[in-house]
Every structure is written in C-alpha cells, then in structure tokens.
Amino acid sequence: MSEAVHPWVNEYRARLSSGKLPAHSSSHSIDFSTLYQLWHSQLCSRLLDLQSRLLQAKGQSFYTIGSAGHEGNAAVAAALRLTDPAFLHYRSGAFFIERSKQLPGSTPLYDMLLSFCASSDDPISGGRHKVLGSLALNIPPQTSTIASQLPKAVGAAFAVDLAKRLGLDGQWPADAIVLCSFGDASANHSTAQGAINSACWAAYQQVPVPVLFVCEDNGLGISTPTPSGWIEQDLADRPALKYFAADSRDLAQTYHVARRAADYVRSKRKPAVLHLSTVRLFGHAGADAEVAYRTKTQIEAELELDPLLSSTAALLASGDITAEQLLAQLNALVAQIARVAAVASNQPKLTTAAQVMASIAPQRAAVPVPLLPDVEARQQLFAFDQHNIGKKQHLAKLLNWALHDVLAQYKNTVVFGEDVGKKGGVYGVTQHLVHAFGSNRVINTLLDEQSILGMAIGLSQQGFISIPEIQFLAYVHNAEDQIRGEAATLPFFSNGQYHNAMVIRIAGLAYQRGFGGHFHNDNSFAVFRDIPGVILFCPSNGYDAALLLRQAVALAHQQKRLVIFLEPIALYMTRDLAAGDGLWLHDYPTPDTPLPELGEPAVYGNGDELAIISYGNGYYLSRQAEQELAAQGYQIRLLDLRTLVPLHTELIVKALRGCRKVLIVDECRRRGSLSEELFTALHEAKPGHFSISRLCAEDSFIPLGAAAYAVLPSKQQIVQQALSLLTVSTEQVML
C-alpha cells in the first residue's frame, strides 16, 4: 500500500495473512451480522486513533489519548438504545461509532476527524476540543474526564424518573437509562466514590436511579498499576448496586452481559455496574513513553491481548467470512480514513477570540416566561404566612416568598440540598416549600456537595431549572470542579448545543459575630470570578433578593445561564440599620415589578461629593456610615453592585456620573478581591478621571468570636476612609 500507515496496520495485515490469531472460544453466541458490525466499529475506532497520531506528526492533530485496547465498548453501545444518554470515558471511540450506526445519515469518521483536527466545522465542539459528543446521539460531550462526569450522570438518571413523576417532557424518554463509563484509576477518585455512593444511597431508599456505570479496567492509571482484584472488591458488594462483569476481548460475552445489565437497570430503575476488563495499547497518549515504567516483555504481552485480534478470530471461526475478505475491508477502511483525514485537516479553524468565545454564553432565541398563578392561587400559596403578608420583612423571609412564587410560576424548577425540606434550611429560607410543592420538587439530599451539584447538572440536561442549595460558601470548594469543569464548560465544548441552566444558591460571606470561624464565615468568592460564562448575584436586602432571584431564574429559563446566587448569612435576619429603626426590613416586590437591567447597580442618595461602591455586608455597613457622614453635612452616593460577575462597568460608570471621588468597600480579602477588578475597570473606563480608594478585609482567614471583626472592614473604618477622601482635594488625591 502506498499511503502512510501506522506499524500496527501492517502487523494486522500480516496476522490476517498468516492466520496468527488467538484461539477463539466464548461461552456466549452471537449472530454473524452483529459480530461483524461490532468488529467494523472497533476497527474504525482503531484506525482513527492511529490516523490521529499520523496527523499529529504533521502538526494537524492535537490530542492523542485514544481508545486502543478499549474497543470492546462497542458491544456496550449495541446493547443500549439511541435514546439512552451516555456520559463517556475518553477511550470510547468504538462506542461512539457503534451508536452512530443507530442513527441513519451519521458520519462518525468525518465528525471525529474534524474534532481531532480542531476544525470549526466539528459538529459537537466547533473546534474547541477533541470530544466525543453529539446532541442527536444523546452523548453529552466530556473532555479529559477523571471521574467528574459521574455525579452529573447520576443526576441525569435521577432526572429521567423525576420528569416522569412530575409529568414533564424531558430531553430523554421516561424509559431511558443513563450510561456512564470511566477508567479503573478514576474509580478511586473521591468524585467517583461519592457519585456511586449517592446512587446507592438513593436506590437503598427505593428512589429510582437508572444508571449503568461501566468501569473499563485496563489495570493502569497512566503508569500506576491498579492492584489486581481491587475494582471487583471495591464495586461488587455495594448496597443496592448490581454487579456485572465481562471480558471486553470477548464481544459475544460483552454484548450479552451488557444487555443483561441494561435490562436490569431499565426494568428495576436501579443502578448497576459493568466491570469491563480491557487492555491499554500504545501507551496513555502519544507522548507517553511506556518503556520508562513497563518492561518490553509486558508491552509485548499486552499487544497479544489486542481485542481486534480476538474479534477477528471470532469472525473467522464463524465460517461466514474469510481472511481475504477481512483484509480487503481493512485496506478499504485505511484508504477511506486517509482520504477523510486529508479533507478534515484542511477544514477551517477558529481564528479569533470572538469565534472561540461565542459558545461560552450564547444568545438564544427569546422564549416566553410562564404565566404567574392567578390571584386566588397565590393567596392560597401564601396562606401559611398570611399574618406577615403586607408587612416589611427581612431578607430570609422575602427570599422564601420569592422561592414560593418561582416554584409556582416555573413548573420545571426543583429546589434541593441538605436540610431544605421539612427543616426549611439552616436559616429558614426554604421553610414550607416542601408542604406547598411536595418532596419531588423540594428534595433533601445526602451530605455531599459534589453529588448535589452533579444532580443539578443532570436535572438541567433533562430540562429542569435546578435550584440547588449549598449550605455555606466554604462547603463549595470540595466540589467546585462540578461548576468550573463541568457545568460552566458544557456550552463551550458543545458549541452551545448543550447547557446547564441552573441557579445555585449559596449562603456565605462573613460578619456572623465570629460564629463558626472560617468554615461558616468564608469571605472570598474568588473561585467564581474566573469562570467564563457564570453570573454571580449578591443581594444585600430582601427587596433586591426577591427581584434578583426572579431575574436569575428568568436567565436560566430564557438564556440557559448558570447563575450563582450568593446570600449574605449575616443579613438574613437583619432588621435595623440602627437599633430599633427597622430600616433593613423591606416590602415584597409584587410579581409584576420590572426586573433591573442585568448588571445595573442599585443607587442610594444623589450626592456627588463621594461615591461608595460595595455589596452585601459591605453595602449594609456603608449605609450605616452614610448616616454618620450625613449628620456631618456630607452628601454621599452609595452603589450596591448586586451583580458581581461579570462587572458591567458601563452601568457602574453611568451610576457614578458627577462623582469623581470613589471609595470601594469590599468585605473580601485585599488580595484577590473584587475591589482589584473594580479599581482597574474604573481606571480603564475613564483614565485619570476617578480618585479611588479601597477598604478591604485583611488577607486572613476568619477566626472565632469577636476577633473576627479585627480582620473585617467596619463602619468606623468606612467613615474614616471616606473623611480622608472628602477632606482632600481631587487633585491632591490623584497626586
């Protein structure tokens, strides 16, 4: 043959010609047409992997973690339905190709090569990453998954049956099951352990979670061997988790065991695990030199376990095809893939920042907002709190009312998290919701933030608007990758075809009189500030909280946005600015109250001597400071940012019109706080125009007791720093 080929191709040709193949034996039978189809998918996947390495040598392909040795997962694809969502391990090329055969008109070879070559014509990621994914094939794209797809797969499985219980149409049918594949090394990751545990925890209580975990066990985590027998020991005796096992080199066995596993999950609506023995050929990736950690004997021995050799032996043993015919098929596929690669490698690429970023938060066609319940229905909804209706309330109460209105208006909203049910949350924000909407829409979860956020992703992909609660800001850090690496990236890596519409409620920030120390007084939300596409709201009072929550849900509904809703714990029950004045109680905005423009700050006062910009507790303290400054005759303007990510600088500058002296009060730490970004943004927007000073928390964690206030901004510090700006001319400050 004249075309450049990988050495494996010539070795395979030689094996076909010489008949040097493993002896065929299987305890299961399979018809020839199915066996041939699976072999064809396996061979396509292998040749694509090898072609990717050839393209990489020319600088035309950029990702070489392949599926070589794992191609038996084609039989798993054949055992499932097209409508079963599949969250795939990155060694699932054969699965993807086999599933493509269930959808006439699919072009998996061309599509995958476009992905290898990072072409903007790639139908799933638009050239942003080599991913296995397709909206039409019900394969949400995953990138370099190290178990991070497991929590959302469990969430998706839960969502399938939840949609059925609530009578809602979803992305996937009511009898679908969810497949999630991962490697043996990934099985040890805390994310995998937590996800499997959460599926078992739910199933143990007879909650439907139809997920089929597939652990593709090749015995290696890059260079670290998996202890022999460990995966079976780890997975075989889990409560409420059915265990199946198969050798992926035996396609007949794998196909039949996978069908049994799928049938079990589909009929019982319970989780199961398929432990699939595989091998890893040609190293972890193209740059992986196996000889550095494995002997030549080990490498050669595994080459003899190549699943393509076993599949070929099974085909020839059937007597329905000859080696010459298989050789002809091989040569035809080699030539076809080379031709397709030549075309794919010359297709357009992303060339501008605008093209790359277009799918981070794509603008979507307008969709109507659901109608509010009628007056009588709302009266009945709020009957539980009738004695408070019409009276000014604190932030926690108005948030609670807003959640009632949101759940009544949007039938696909679900509130869930630790203690959100009968207890009503740690601070009472979710009180009575479960009584009004039932346990299918207000759900107590297990104590695992990764599983809570994974559930949010899975629900969102089934068409729900997820409203998960994280009890404290510090609790999110062990699960932040579910936001950063999974929820926020999905639109980007799917070219906007998939989304994760959700509103993540997080109680946080400091000023709780030192209660609980740092773990309950986390005053840094920097983790959210560098995630592209995320919106972060932070209300300081009940009126704004209700409006912003409605705006957050509307953004999730209409634009499929991922919104973080950060609620200042210390202000939940706050009633007064000064003792007994009731000035931090607010009216509940009527449901027809117009929503603010996204990113528009709230403005208090119209003075132009000084503007104080803050949010959350800092804004509350600034309002206290303003009273003292007003008593001294100063006219101050205060801006409550409300939207912290992204900062809408043009709206902030507009609200500052007439003010040149600016004090930024930021309750987060001086290093890495929002004040840094805001300081820079104002200077860039109007160079040399503003005289700006910052007042921030110290670069410290929050201690217990009264000592907490030693490292946080205070009202008196705000007054002092404001006076230092007010009593110095603009020119002096700028010098």
- The CATH number of 602-734, from 3.30.2270.10, 3.40.50.920, 3.90.600.10, 3.40.640.10, is 3.40.50.920
**Confidence class for position 669, pLDDT limits 50, 70, 90:** very high
The model's pLDDT over 529-539, given as tens digits with 9 standing for 90+, comes to 999 999 999 99
Distance between CA atoms of residues 506 and 281, nearest Å: 45
Q: Where are the domains of the chain?
A: 7-350, 390-571, 602-734
Query: Which class does domain 7-350 fall in?
Result: alpha beta
Given a contact cutoff of 8 angstroms between Cβ atoms, the answer to whether 135 and 497 are in contact is yes
Of 347, 345, 350, the C-alpha closest to 54 is: 345
| Consecutive H or E run containing 340 | helix 323-344
Residues 109, 9, 123: CA angle, nearest 5 degrees:
15
Our separate counts of H helices and E strands in the chain read: 26, 21
Residue 734 has pLDDT above 60, yes or no: no
**Confidence class for position 661, pLDDT limits 50, 70, 90:** very high
Contact partners, residue 104, CB within 8 Å, separation at least 6: none
pLDDT value at position 5? 86
pLDDT value at position 732? 53
237: left (phi over 0), alpha (psi -120 to 50) or beta: alpha
Q: Give the relative orientation of helices 190-204 and 150-166 as an angle to the nearest 10 degrees.
A: 30
The average pLDDT across 158-175 equals 96
- Mean of the per-residue pLDDT values of the chain: 94
Residue 480 has pLDDT above 70, yes or no: yes
The model's pLDDT over 534-580, given as tens digits with 9 standing for 90+, comes to 999 999 999 999 999 999 999 999 999 999 999 999 999 999 999 99
The model's pLDDT over 300-358, given as tens digits with 9 standing for 90+, comes to 888 889 999 999 999 999 999 999 999 999 999 999 999 999 999 999 999 999 999 99
pLDDT value at position 292? 83
Question: Encoding tokens for residue 75?
Answer: 């039989």
The model's pLDDT over 194-231, given as tens digits with 9 standing for 90+, comes to 999 999 999 999 999 999 999 999 888 888 889 999 99
Helices within 176-320 (DSSP H only): 190-204, 230-235, 251-268, 296-303, 307-318
Question: Encoding tokens for residue 181?
Answer: 């594949």
Lowest mean pLDDT among 24-28, 422-426, 458-462: 24-28
Cis before 646 (ω within 30): yes
pLDDT value at position 670? 93
**Confidence class for position 3, pLDDT limits 50, 70, 90:** low
User: Coil, strand, or helix at residue 670?
Assistant: coil
pLDDT value at position 216? 95
Q: Give the relative orientation of helices 323-344 and 32-57 as an angle to the nearest 10 degrees.
A: 40
Distance between CA atoms of residues 591 and 406, nearest Å: 10
Residue 288 has pLDDT above 80, yes or no: no
Given a contact cutoff of 8 angstroms between Cβ atoms, the answer to whether 46 and 308 are in contact is yes
Distance between CA atoms of residues 303 and 22, nearest Å: 12
Main-chain dihedrals φ then ψ at residue 701, nearest 5 degrees:
-75, 165
Q: What is the dihedral of CA 264, 267, 268, 273, to 10 degrees?
A: 30
Distance between CA atoms of residues 604 and 623, nearest Å: 9
The model's pLDDT over 269-282, given as tens digits with 9 standing for 90+, comes to 999 999 999 998 88
Distance between CA atoms of residues 542 and 539, nearest Å: 7
For residues 521 and 380, which has the higher predicted lDDT (pLDDT)? 380
Contact partners, residue 713, CB within 8 Å, separation at least 6: 618, 621, 665, 666, 667, 695, 696, 697
pLDDT value at position 730? 56
Distance between CA atoms of residues 191 and 187, nearest Å: 8
The model's pLDDT over 53-89, given as tens digits with 9 standing for 90+, comes to 898 888 888 877 889 899 999 999 999 999 999 999 9
Question: Encoding tokens for residue 355?
Answer: 């093209």
Residue 731 has pLDDT above 60, yes or no: no
Q: pTM for the whole thing?
A: 0.95
The average pLDDT across 701-714 equals 91
Question: Encoding tokens for residue 25?
Answer: 């034996």
pLDDT value at position 1? 39
Q: How far apart are the first and last CA of the chain?
A: 77
Per-residue burial over 460-499, b if 16 or more Cβ lie within 10 Å, else e, is: bbbebbbbbbbbbbbbbeebebbbbbbbbbbbbbbbbbbb
Identify the DSSP state of 708: G
Residue type, 631: A
Q: Which CATH superfamily is domain 390-571 in?
A: Thiamin diphosphate (ThDP)-binding fold, Pyr/PP domains (3.40.50.970)
Of 504, 502, 559, 544, the C-alpha closest to 527 is: 504
Distance between CA atoms of residues 333 and 328, nearest Å: 9
Hey, do 390-571 and 602-734 end up sharing a CATH topology, with the first three levels equal?
Answer: yes
CB atoms near residue 328 (< 10 Å): 12
Residue type, 255: Y
Contact partners, residue 510, CB within 8 Å, separation at least 6: 521, 522, 523, 570, 617, 667, 697, 702, 708, 712
The average pLDDT across 616-630 equals 97
Given a contact cutoff of 8 angstroms between Cβ atoms, the answer to whether 626 and 583 are in contact is no
Given a contact cutoff of 8 angstroms between Cβ atoms, the answer to whether 183 and 216 are in contact is yes
